[in-house]
Amino acid sequence: MTVRQLSLPELAKGLVELGVPGVGLWREPVAAHGLAATARLVRDAGLRVTTLCRGGFFTAEEPAERAAALDDNRAALDEAAELGTDTLVLVSGGLPPGSRDLFGARERIADALAELLPHAAERGVRLAIEPLHPMYAADRCVVSSLDQALALAGRFPAERVGVVVDTYHLWWDDRVADGIARAGAEGRIHSFQLADWTTPLPEGVLNGRGQIGDGAVDFRWFDREVRAAGYTGPVEVELFNEGLWARDGLEVLAETVARYRAHAL
């Protein structure tokens, strides 16, 4: 999504040229390019698919809506398996319209995870709960802290349900070091994602994630913490940024790699 202006073949070629060994994919561009074609493309390019984004949206109260969400997540698990990634990132869902019941919404997430577990196990794909910044609690994700994500994940086996550590969502939280240490000890850090926090936030607060190094996040601190917690997996850079999307995609890709090396290693 960092360079969504690129087609998947352009992206794969650009990554290989830059020496980037893997890529996190979103379902929409995969569907547009074709699932089998995408699987072939990344395999032929020698790229590892680090994660598939995203499943989730588990908080609906309506039975039909809830059943549709679960079906969609089963489809996402199938897609993840076909792409050869072991991790499906979950954006768990916000409050249903008119609801003010955060507790109930969080419990419905746990119920949905329990229902998905057999299918996830069958496909060999892990469910990675991503705590989103608290500014998304109402409309996107009622899981707002690493502690909450771990409390949910902790009800299930670590090899099946874990968490995403994303700097954009967690950088402000003085409890995050403890959370990362605990997540690592439990074997539940299933993904590590980077984005910087820049202000002012844009309307709707979705597409203002800063390029690495432009904002308030101390990436070296995060990198140190996740490694100290035992994480040895891939590092993803996931930027939703209108400014970056308006630029030449390959230039942004190269800049992102350079910024990562300058600020996060």
**Least distance from its own copies to the Cβ atom of residue 235, Å:** 18
Q: How far is the CB of 193 from its own copies (least distance, A)?
A: 17
Tokens in use for 116? 């998905």
Closest distance of CB 87 from its own copies, Å: 25
For 132, list phi and psi in degrees, rounded to 5.
Answer: -100, 155
Amino acid making up residue 96:
P
Of 78 and 101, which CB lies nearer to its own copies in the complex structure? 101
Task: Please tell me whether residue 95 binds its own copies under the rule CB under 8 A.
Answer: yes
> What SS3 class is residue 171?
coil
Residue 114 CA to residue 112 CA, distance in Å, equals: 5
Smallest distance from the beta carbon of 104 to its own copies, in angstroms? 11
Region binding its own copies by CB under 8 A among candidate stretches 48-56, 156-164, 170-178, 227-235: 170-178
63 is a site residue for its own copies (CB under 8 A): no
Q: Does residue 102 belong to the site contacting its own copies (CB under 8 A)? A: yes
DSSP secondary structure string, 176-213? HHHHHHHHHHTT-EEEEEE-EE-SSPPTTSSSBEEPTT
In the window 120-139, what residues touch its own copies (CB under 8 A)?
133-135, 137-139
> Are 26 and 1 a contacting pair, CB within 8 Å?
yes
Q: Which is nearer to its own copies, 19 or 98 (CB)?
A: 98
Give the integer Cα–Cα distance in Å for 165 and 186: 14
Site string for its own copies, 202-221 (x = CB under 8 A): xxxx---------xxxx--x
Q: Give Cβ neighbours of residue 112 (< 8 Å, ≥ 6 apart).
A: 58, 66, 69, 70, 73
The token pair at 43 is 């395999």
Given 21, 43, 122, 172, the residue binding its own copies (CB under 8 A):
172
The tokens 């009800």 sit on which residue? 155
Interacting residue ranges for its own copies, rule: CB under 8 A: 95, 99-103, 106, 133-135, 137-139, 142, 144-145, 148, 171-174, 197-205, 215-218, 221
